Amino acid sequence: MSQAWETVIGLETHVQLRTRSKMFCGCSTSFGAPPNTQVCPVCLGLPGALPVANGAAIGLAVRGALALGCTVHPKSIFARKNYFYPDLPKGYQISQFDQPLATQGSLSFLSPERGAVTATIVRLHLEEDAGKSIHDRFPKATAVDLNRSGVPLIEIVGGPDLRSPAEARAYLQTLKQLLEYIGISDCDMEKGSLRVDANVSIRRAGETALNTRTEVKNINAFSFVEKALGVERDRQIALVESGGSVSQQTMLYDAKESTVRPQRSKEESHDYRYFPEPDLPPLVLTPEFVAEQQSELPELPGQKRERFMAQYALSREHATVLTASRAVAEYYEHVVRAPAEPQSAANWVMTEALADAKDHQEQLRVSPAALAQIIALVKGGTLSNQAAKRVFAEVASKGGDPRTIAESLGLVLVADTNVLAAWVSDVLGAHAPEVGRYKNGETKLMAFFVGQVMRASKGKADPKLAQRVLEEKLSA
Amino acid sequence: MSDARAVADRLIKAKRLNALLTPAKDLRKSLLAQAEAARTTGVLYGMPVAVKDNICTLEFTTTCGSKILEGYQSPYEATAITKLKAAGALIAGKTNCDEFAMGSSTEHSAYGRVIHPLDKARVPGGSSGGSAALVAAGAVPAALGSDTGGSVRQPAAFCGVVGMKPTYGRVSRYGLVAFGSSLDQIGVLGRSVHDAARVLSVISGRDARDSTCEDRDPLRLPTVPESLQGFVIGLPKEYFPAELDPAVKRACDRAIRMMKELGAAVREVSLPHTPYAVPTYYVIAPAEASSNLARYDGVRYGPRFDGHQDLHALYRTTRGQGFGPEVRRRILVGTYVLSAGYYDAYYRRAQQMRALIAQDFRNAFDRGVDLLFTPTVPAPAFKAGEKLSDPIAMYMSDIFTVTANLAGLPAMSLPIGRVKGLPIGGQLIGQAFLEDEMIEAAYALERVVPATDEA
């Protein structure tokens, strides 16, 4: 059936901006404080309190908009989105509506099915977060924590350009990478600093019009994105194929059951009665301010990937891995500049360095200079590949100079022909039948002899040199 | 200390007016404490200023005349209050008002109506009726009010005192409980132009906590002028309709004649969009109010009324029982005009009309007029109950005052005579941030106009 249907997905992503204080007051935004300790009259919505917009948040939002290639509007308007909920202390959320901060951007990403795809970014606007309702803390009661109330967010509305759940995941991954790159958010879904809602519809393959969509909410972990959208797509297909039709509603994803259920109509607000926020003047951005934000932007991931391919002659795959995060890309370039040969450096960073980082809170524990030295030791024949990996692990856990560590661990390859000759003699003496067969023309036994020498030397023999000594002795 | 006691005594003596919401015991205690702590060098040193109960204070509760905020103690105080205290003033209790400042008679208070000091059968005007009545009774020299559509000027006119509403953005709204955020300003009621002006000067000026408050120095008080030489006073013809109360008309004519005698040039002007002002106001103010009052839901503060078996029942009973009928009416109207499908027909058109009304004023001022003079209210104080069942008649009481709020202009009312013992107010409307010119003219007129004589 999946051949006959095409899925159409657009994502609405809420991203918490990395600011010290909230969007409209001076309260801290730090995560994990005891409930209701980071609050003031403004974010509690007390009678008479008024909002004052946070300039730092506006700057970060503009950077996000520029990185997504949006048109940043010199004038935008804050608006009130009115609805009742206990964790919304004012009874409205300050957001932006018909005049958002930025519109018409795009995001290029690699689709697992279609290759390079450019999705449209319809709009990007600023808003404040609501508080948090806690339903499982007290029996028969809901608790409200307003620490999050007023935390600055941007909402990034993507166009209906995604064609599968896997593609939606790839889009989100790329978006997350971009936002982390430019440093405007931690994009941590578990802490709620990245949240995503999805608009999903289906149509017969070949159709171009959009059908009725549903909005899937409550996707609260990265790994659920693909699953949740798959479940909703399958539900819609099954519904239509059995003669039903999709109705416009909000579906809540249940990760435990891997199902979606319609939100009760009572939970839905049908009319937000948006109107311009009279407590805040229009948000006017000078060209100087926008230019300043532009100058704060680093090289973006796509640009960096292209440059790595050109400058270091890396494959697209390798360049993609090495530019996936700004920290790794910078680390790689430091290794190369230390200096190290770019492809070897790429191999080492992608395997040993990233594997070690994965086990140690994403810390790249071996300094670029030390890694470059390890690579040089392998190139120079001082360390075998195996030994180099041990040295790397040792430097990672204890620090220190790679050569000194290699020596103290006795891993430096022995290139002294006198010492090698002794090992060779021992080996040949112990394997007289094989020596006979070799002399009778079974030259492929050389590998066996080298192996035996390595074994006798406990891996310390320089294998190339050992082979030369073996050849000399066997031909004598 | 004896001063603080005397202040308390005077306020408590005015108890029959039901103008003060602060219990006598609390008032005495606080005034003594404040007198001890007050700065002795401030320009308002020792001056008692009563405060409308929709302005947040640390000394007293802030109920907005509503059951839904019964006993509510704000954990912070309004910027205007901080400024008053820094100038040495004493916060002399909280005054009764129409619930959330919605009304023109102070009959819409959950804590009972305020009595007119000169005629107990009549209303003192509203919504700052408690503040006006206390000043008129001589209990305090000045009081803070709030003016969204005339709520300082109309009760000032009814009670025979001075009422000033500054330019929108002149005084910080931080700590003023919001009604119509784009219209609200804290204003001052005073027994004289000078008392009102000096309090206004103290509370004016920039405030980083209010983004709509202009980055300007506090208002500087003008000196009392010898004459009105050089002033051009405009008389907008739409404010002197044929059906105007004849006594009000006579009082205005007398004041105009006196301004001429003081050397002012007087000329008729037209503000053609005036007939649309009240309908425009009664779309915008309720729209903003419907949103501003959403926070009173019984979840975080204020009483929670019974019947909350589920969330929606909690909202329904708390808001249904906590708000009075006039507040409920305006929330309904405001919700309606902002609803999808009605927004364009009401809210958007009202905003367009608001821009035209503001343009009317600019046109008049561009033609060389410095100030406008009008009656403050079409008729003197009405009887209690007279307009309670007719909201539209009540709303028409604001017909001459709402325009200054819609245009964001400074305006004031001062007493210009009486009819059958009831005060009549004349209104001066100034140019944005030129309160000093308006006050200058008021100083001159105040000196000559027989404010307590029959017109």
Tens-digit pLDDT profile for residues A73-114: 999 999 999 999 999 999 999 999 999 999 999 999 999 999
Query: Which ranges in B367-427 belong to alpha helices (H)?
Result: 391-395, 402-407
Measured distance CA(B236)–CA(B266) in Å, rounded: 11
Which of A41, A46, A281 is closest, CB to CB, to B211?
Answer: A281
Q: What is the DSSP string of A153-179?
A: EEEEEE-S-B-SHHHHHHHHHHHHHHH
Angle at B167 (CA atoms; ends B166, B173), nearest 5 degrees: 75
Give me the half-sphere count of Cα atoms (radius 13 Å) on the Cβ side of residue A409.
Answer: 22
Q: Strand ranges (DSSP E) for B327-370?
A: none
- pLDDT at res. A268: 54
- Say whether pLDDT at A381 is over 50: yes
Give me the half-sphere count of Cα atoms (radius 13 Å) on the Cβ side of residue A316.
Answer: 4
Nearest Cα neighbor of B49 from B212, B201, B160 is: B201
Measured distance CA(B189)–CA(A459) in Å, rounded: 97
- A282 at the B interface (CB within 8 A)? no
The model's pLDDT over A284-293, given as tens digits with 9 standing for 90+, comes to 999 999 999 9
Indicate if B52 belongs to the active site. Answer: yes
The model's pLDDT over A20-66, given as tens digits with 9 standing for 90+, comes to 999 999 999 998 899 999 999 999 999 999 999 999 999 999 999 99
Centre a 10 Å sphere on the Cβ of residue A458 and count the other Cβ atoms it contains: 9
B30, B127, B128, B192: which one is catalytic? B127
Is residue B87 within 8 Å of residue B43, measured between CB atoms? yes
| DSSP code for B99 | G
Residues within 8 A of B (CB atoms), A 186-225 only: none
Is residue B56 within 8 Å of residue B65, measured between CB atoms? no
List chain B domain ranges. Answer: 278-344
List chain A domain ranges. Answer: 11-203+269-292, 299-408, 417-475
Nearest Cα neighbor of A87 from A43, A126, A54 is: A43
Which of A52, A86, A273 is closest, CB to CB, to B311?
Answer: A86
Tokens 């809420």 found at: A14
Q: Is A468 helix (H, G, I), strand (E, B) or coil?
A: helix
The model's pLDDT over B329-365, given as tens digits with 9 standing for 90+, comes to 999 999 999 998 899 999 999 999 999 999 999 999 9
Cβ neighbourhood burial of A361 (10 Å; 0-12, 13-18, 19+): exposed
Give me the half-sphere count of Cα atoms (radius 13 Å) on the Cβ side of residue B412.
Answer: 35
Q: Which chain A residues have a beta carbon less than 8 Å from that of B78?
A: 48
Query: pLDDT band at residue A345, thresholds of 50, 70 and 90?
Result: very high
- pLDDT at res. B22: 97
Measured distance CA(A374)–CA(B321) in Å, rounded: 77
Is residue B425 within 8 Å of residue B249, measured between CB atoms? no
Record the tokens describing residue B451, joined without a space: 């404010």
- pLDDT at res. A241: 92
Contact A52 B208 (CB under 8 A): yes
Which of A46, A53, A82 is closest, CB to CB, to B291?
Answer: A82
Query: pLDDT band at residue A265, thresholds of 50, 70 and 90?
Result: low
Cβ neighbourhood burial of A423 (10 Å; 0-12, 13-18, 19+): buried
Contact A279 B209 (CB under 8 A): no
- B343 at the A interface (CB within 8 A)? yes
Measured distance CA(B337)–CA(B286) in Å, rounded: 9
Which of B176, B288, B335 is closest, CB to CB, to A278?
Answer: B288
- B133 at the A interface (CB within 8 A)? no
The model's pLDDT over A62-83, given as tens digits with 9 standing for 90+, comes to 999 999 999 999 999 999 999 9
Nearest Cα neighbor of A155 from A11, A293, A56, A301 is: A11
- pLDDT at res. A2: 47
- Say whether pLDDT at A380 is over 50: yes
Give me the half-sphere count of Cα atoms (radius 13 Å) on the Cβ side of residue A4.
Answer: 6
Give the relative orientation of helices A301-312 and A326-337 as an angle to the nearest 10 degrees.
20
Q: What is the ipTM of this complex?
A: 0.96
Contact B295 A273 (CB under 8 A): no
Measured distance CA(B145)–CA(B167) in Å, rounded: 14
- Say whether pLDDT at B258 is over 60: yes
Measured distance CA(A9)–CA(A169) in Å, rounded: 11
Centre a 10 Å sphere on the Cβ of residue A144 and count the other Cβ atoms it contains: 19
**Residues whose CB falls within 8 Å of the CB of residue B74, separated by 6 or more in sequence, listed in order:** A41, A46, A47, A48, B56, B57, B58, B61, B62, B175
Nearest Cα neighbor of B87 from B152, B142, B137, B14 is: B142
**Closest approach of chain B CAs to the CA of A57, in angstroms?**
16
Topology (CATH) of A417-475: Arc Repressor Mutant, subunit A (1.10.10)
Tokens 């005073």 found at: B190
Chain centre distance of CA A185: 12
Indicate if B127 belongs to the active site. Answer: yes
Indicate if B83 belongs to the active site. Answer: no
The model's pLDDT over B104-134, given as tens digits with 9 standing for 90+, comes to 999 999 999 999 999 999 999 999 999 999 9
Measured distance CA(A300)–CA(A302) in Å, rounded: 6
Chain centre distance of CA A449: 48
The amino acid that residue A299 corresponds to is: E
Is residue A83 within 8 Å of residue A269, measured between CB atoms? yes
Measured distance CA(A468)–CA(A420) in Å, rounded: 10
Q: Is B388 helix (H, G, I), strand (E, B) or coil?
A: coil
- Say whether pLDDT at A191 is over 90: no
What is the pTM for the complete model shown? 0.89
Contact B211 A273 (CB under 8 A): no
**B202 sits in which H/E element:** helix B193-203
Q: How does A174-197 read in b/e, with b if 16+ C-beta sit within 10 Å?
A: bbbbbbbbbebbbbebeebbbbbb
Is residue A216 within 8 Å of residue A202, measured between CB atoms? no
Angle at A412 (CA atoms; ends A409, A418), nearest 5 degrees: 125
Measured distance CA(A471)–CA(B72) in Å, rounded: 98
- pLDDT at res. A224: 92
Centre a 10 Å sphere on the Cβ of residue A17 and count the other Cβ atoms it contains: 25
B30, B74, B128, B151: which one is catalytic? B151
- Say whether pLDDT at A207 is over 80: yes
Which of B177, B212, B300 is closest, CB to CB, to A48?
Answer: B177
Measured distance CA(B216)–CA(B205) in Å, rounded: 6
- pLDDT at res. B307: 62
- Say whether pLDDT at A341 is over 60: yes
Which of A47, A84, A279 is closest, CB to CB, to B74?
Answer: A47
- pLDDT at res. A409: 86
Residues within 8 A of B (CB atoms), A 297-326 only: none
Contact A44 B300 (CB under 8 A): yes
Interface probe for B, chosen from A46, A80, A280 (most Cβ of B below 10 Å), is A46
Measured distance CA(B39)–CA(B90) in Å, rounded: 10
Interface probe for B, chosen from A23, A78, A274, A275 (most Cβ of B below 10 Å), is A275
- Say whether pLDDT at A266 is over 70: no
| Minimal-distance CA residue of chain A relative to B77 | A48
Q: How far is CA A116 from CA A230, A316, A321, A460, in A?
A: 22, 12, 16, 48
- pLDDT at res. A418: 86
- B301 at the A interface (CB within 8 A)? yes
- Say whether pLDDT at A456 is over 80: yes
Rg (chain A; Cα; Å) = 30
Contact B56 A271 (CB under 8 A): no
Measured distance CA(A442)–CA(B182) in Å, rounded: 98
Interface probe for B, chosen from A40, A50, A80, A83 (most Cβ of B below 10 Å), is A50
Q: Is B445 helix (H, G, I), strand (E, B) or coil?
A: helix
- Say whether pLDDT at B394 is over 60: yes
Record the tokens describing residue B402, joined without a space: 């709402």
Residues within 8 A of B (CB atoms), A 137-176 only: 144
**A342 sits in which H/E element:** helix A342-348
Measured distance CA(B92)–CA(B101) in Å, rounded: 19
Average pLDDT, chain A: 93
The model's pLDDT over B23-46, given as tens digits with 9 standing for 90+, comes to 999 999 999 999 998 777 899 999
